[in-house]
Each structure stands twice: as structure tokens, then as C-alpha cells.
Amino acid sequence: MTPRRDVAGTGVLLRFAVRRDRVRLPVWVLAGSALMWAQSTSNQSFYRTPAALAAYRASAGSNAASIAFSGPPVGLGTVAGTVAFEISGVLAVLAALMATSTVVRHTRADEEAGRTELLRAGRLGRHAPLLAATGVSAAACALLGAGIAAAAALSGLPGHGAVVLGAATASAGLVWTGATAVCAQLAGGARSVYGLVGGLLGVAFVVRALGDVTGDGASWASPLGWAQATHPWSDDRWWPLLLPLAAAALSLAGARALLDRRDLGAGFLQPRPGPATASRALGSPLGLAWRLQRGALLAWAVGVALLGLVYGGLAESVRTLLADNPDAQVFFRGSSTAELVDSYLGVTVRIAALLVTAYAVSATCRARTEEAAGRAEPLLAAAVGRARWLGSHLVVALGGATALLVLDGLATGASRAVATGRAGEVGRLTGAALGYVPAVWVAAGFAAALVGAVPAAAVPAAWTAFGGLLVVTLFADGFGWPAWVGDLSPLLRTPTVPAQAWSAAPLLALAAVAAGFLAVAFAAVRRRDVAAG
């Protein structure tokens, strides 16, 4: 039994944590529910006919790339089954990310900032912060599960399966709540917790992917596999959920045992000493911006490359799938199968470009977050001008985005080249991806102009604008909105090569807009106060 003194104050902290997360967590829940809704409605319109479903089952259900990406190919005989196949893995990862960020935020991030010390000096038990963090994370997982179940049922899928999928997603969140709680005791600091959990998540994903592709049961070794083992809308099994519940309970107990054996602010893995002197590269604002952002860029590069490989790998099954599905033919606009595949590839490159835009916006906003944290001041108080400082982050953002687009084209092209034996695919798709450079730069330029002109509001405004871009780009065509709405998206103004022909005029126009935004950014940042906070 835990002495009462160890848990004193948990209730107060829990209410405090809920208050601090009153915006953050509902956003996660809404995002997950919206994703569920979008997947459900689009599959219901896509696979309306038995023929379309059969074609889907034949192609996606036997394609190793799509199984590795999505999960076990069960229940593909119903539309609801295709929804579970395509979305359940994504939702489990979403729940894992939400749980991890919530637990880290209320444990090690607070310790690092010195806030826990302030609280622990009061009448607060040693275990209270951990229990409050895991408590609020568990509650968020339950809400996310409920939101997903509601979205699935309301969008017209059978209710029982909807509840199973919601519960499975929530249970995945609980597993990663527990895993993060353990890692938070081991790691030396908040960032290393993310590193450890991210590594575990990667391993879990790979194990599940291999297990599902080979069908040898290895998926049972992966927490991501447990949620999908419920087989929503086909077998509707509840008993696999005992595994994540047991794992969560055990890891929380383990985390509490470890917590008793470590100091506040320290982990079991001590940080190793770093270099005593700076490398040659770390001698300029650009060197610093690269150093600060290279880790994130590398992670994006891995993600974009994987996405390109998977999208490219799926193109062959798309060929068979689309041939029998008139709805998809309308969506992808093509008459011959070759044209349909090109159209599919054009859409996948556009989706990758959308993700790269998110990278470009976040890398641009880094300039403002650095400034807000007070870390621009030491540079600007040395012999570094405003323009050079902002420019250093923009070089990383714009250059990084360009590199990511090239990488996406190379990866998609490479997997197409392997499948078709035509080496020319690599060049063709890399060219298609490069066509989005001006469009992505427009979005980054807009974010930069915000950083220059309205620093305090820049980060939320940039992400709001990106949200709008996302909605317009994904839905303007499908929902039949007026043409001017679609024209707001620079991505939709870019020709979808290889389905459409190259044309320089829209790209030059976009480049001019991007240049205009950048000019505003540099002009504005020279005229304003440098403001922390």
C-alpha cells in the first residue's frame, strides 16, 4: 500500500492540470473525431457498390505496403471494415502522441521548468504530480475514445463496432500513458523522454507491421497491435483490451516504484557531458539555426520518405482498384488506367506537399518561439542584424522544405521504379514534387511575414492559416465549393504533375507572391521591438 502522504494533493493537481489543458486536450479530441468522421464519410461514398468493395479487398487486402502501413486486413467485406482497416492504426498513434505529450508536460517538463519544485515545497506528495499527469492523460484518452465512437456512429457506421474502435483507441492511449510514465523516470530530461517513447513507438510500429504482413502473430508483441486485434465491425472482440489495461496498470506501478528511487529533476539515465568547445559549423546564426532544427528536419525526412515509399508502393493496387470503381474515377479524373495511376500519384504528391507545408510553417515559427523564449536577444546583442537572424531560420525552413519535397519525389519515384521497372519514374515524380516548391514557400513566407509584423500573434495565426489551407486543399474540390475558395490554396494552384502538364505561369506567380511575403517579413522585423514572452 502506498502511504497516504505520497499521494497528498493529487486531486488539487488534477484539477489544475485539467485547467492548464482546457484548450489543448479538446483540440486533440476534436482532431481525432474529425479524422474519424472524414475517413468514414469518404469510404462510405467510395465503396458504395459491392464491386468496389471487392476490388478494394483484392488490392489493398493483399498489398504488403498497405498492410504494413494500416494493419491486419480483416473485415474488408464491409465498408465499416475498410474504415477500421485504414484509420485504426492512425488513431492508435494519435492517442499515443496525445498521451505522451500530456504526461511529459505535467511531469518532466514541469520539473525542468522548476514548477514542480515550487509545488512540492507545499503539502504535496511525491507521487502526486505523476498521478495527476497520468490521470489527466487517461481521462483525455477516454474522451478521445468517446469522441471517435460518437463520430463513427453518427456518420452512419454500426454502433457496436464504433464503441469497440473508440475503446480500442482509448486503450492504446492508456498503454502509452503508462509507457511515458516509466520513461519519464528513466530519462535525463523532458526531451529525452520524447526520444525514448518515440523509439518505443517506432519499434512497436515496425513489429506490428512485420507481424501483420507475415501473419505470424508477432503483432501480439506490439501495443499498437493490441488495439487492432479487437477487429472493430467484424469480430468486435473485447478481450484483447485486457492486454493494454494490464500493461498500463503494470507500467504505472513500475513508474511509481522508480519514482521513489530518483531525485527531482534527474532520471536514471544521466546526461552525458557534451563538447567543451563549439564545432566549426556553430559560428554563425545559420549554424545555430541548423543545429537547433536539424533533429526535427531529420524526423520529417524519415516520415516523408516512408510516406513516399508507401504511396508509391500502393500505386499498383490503385491500378486494379480504380479500374472497377467509377466513384474513384471521378475523384481522380482520368479515363485510361495509366491516367488514373498518374492522377493518383499527383494527389499523393499534393498530400505530401501539404505535410511539407506543415514542416515549413513550424520551422518558420521557430524564429518567433526562439525570440519569445528570450534566445534571440543574445544573438541580436552580438554583431547579428535582424535580417540575418530571421534569415537564418528561413534558410532552414525554405531549404528544408525543398529538400523534403525532393525526398518525397525520390521515394515515391523509387518505389514506382521498382514496381514498374521504369527508372524514368524517379525523375518524373521528383519533378512533380519540385513543382510544389513555390506553393510551400508562399505558406512559409506568409508565416514569416506574421513573425515580422505581428510577433505576439504570429504562431497561432500561422497555424490557423495552415488549418485553413489544409481544409481548402483537401475539400475544395470534393465538396464543390466555389472556385475562388480553391484558388486561395497555393497548393491547388500548382499543376498536379504527372496527371497535368507542366506550366510555368502559375509557378512564377506563386514565386512572386512568396517573394512579396518575404519582403514584408524582412521589412517588418527591422522596424519593431524585440519582444520576449
Partner 1 sequence: MAAVIEVQGLVKSFGRTRALDGLDLEVAPGEVHGFLGPNGSGKSTTIRVLLGLLRADAGRTRLLGGDPWRDAVALHRRLAHVPGDVVLWPNLTGGEVIDLLGRLRGGADRRRVDELLERFDLDPRKKARTYSKGNRQKVALVAALASDAELLVLDEPTSGLDPIMEATFQSCVREVRAEGRTVLLSSHVLAEAEALCDRVSLIRRGRTVQTGSLAELRRLTRTSVTAETDRPVPGLADVPGVHGVRRTGGRVSFDVDSTHLDDALRPLVDAGLRSLTSAPPTLEELFLRQYGDELAAAGDLERLP
Binding site for partner 1 (CB under 8 A): 112, 189, 191, 271, 273-279, 282-285, 287-288, 291-292, 373-375, 377-385, 527-530
The contacts of residue 88 (CB under 8 Å, 6+ apart) are 70, 71, 165, 168, 169, 227, 228, 232
DSSP of 243-291:
HHHHHHHHHHHHHHHHHTTS-TT--SSPPPP--SS--TTTTSHHHHHHH
Cβ closest to partner 1, residue 101 vs residue 171: 101
Cβ closest to partner 1, residue 123 vs residue 294: 294
Cβ closest to partner 1, residue 108 vs residue 428: 108
- Smallest gap, in angstroms, from Cβ of residue 530 to partner 1? 4
- Smallest gap, in angstroms, from Cβ of residue 283 to partner 1? 4
Cβ closest to partner 1, residue 246 vs residue 373: 373
The count of residues in the chain is 533
- Smallest gap, in angstroms, from Cβ of residue 195 to partner 1? 11
Helices 337-372, 386-420: axis angle to 10 degrees equals 150
The C-alpha atoms of residue 293 and residue 362 are separated, in whole angstroms, by 10
Eight-class DSSP state of 234 = T
Cβ closest to partner 1, residue 289 vs residue 513: 289
Q: What grid cell was written down for 306?
A: 516512408
Q: Count the neighbouring beta carbons within 10 Å of the beta carbon of residue 421.
A: 8
Cβ closest to partner 1, residue 30 vs residue 373: 373
DSSP of 240-256:
GGHHHHHHHHHHHHHHH
- Smallest gap, in angstroms, from Cβ of residue 188 to partner 1? 8
Q: What grid cell was written down for 194?
A: 520524447
- Smallest gap, in angstroms, from Cβ of residue 198 to partner 1? 16
- Smallest gap, in angstroms, from Cβ of residue 458 to partner 1? 18
Q: What grid cell was written down for 398?
A: 525554405
b (16+ CB within 10 A) / e for 323-340: ebbeebbebbebeeeebb
- Smallest gap, in angstroms, from Cβ of residue 117 to partner 1? 12
Cβ closest to partner 1, residue 283 vs residue 468: 283
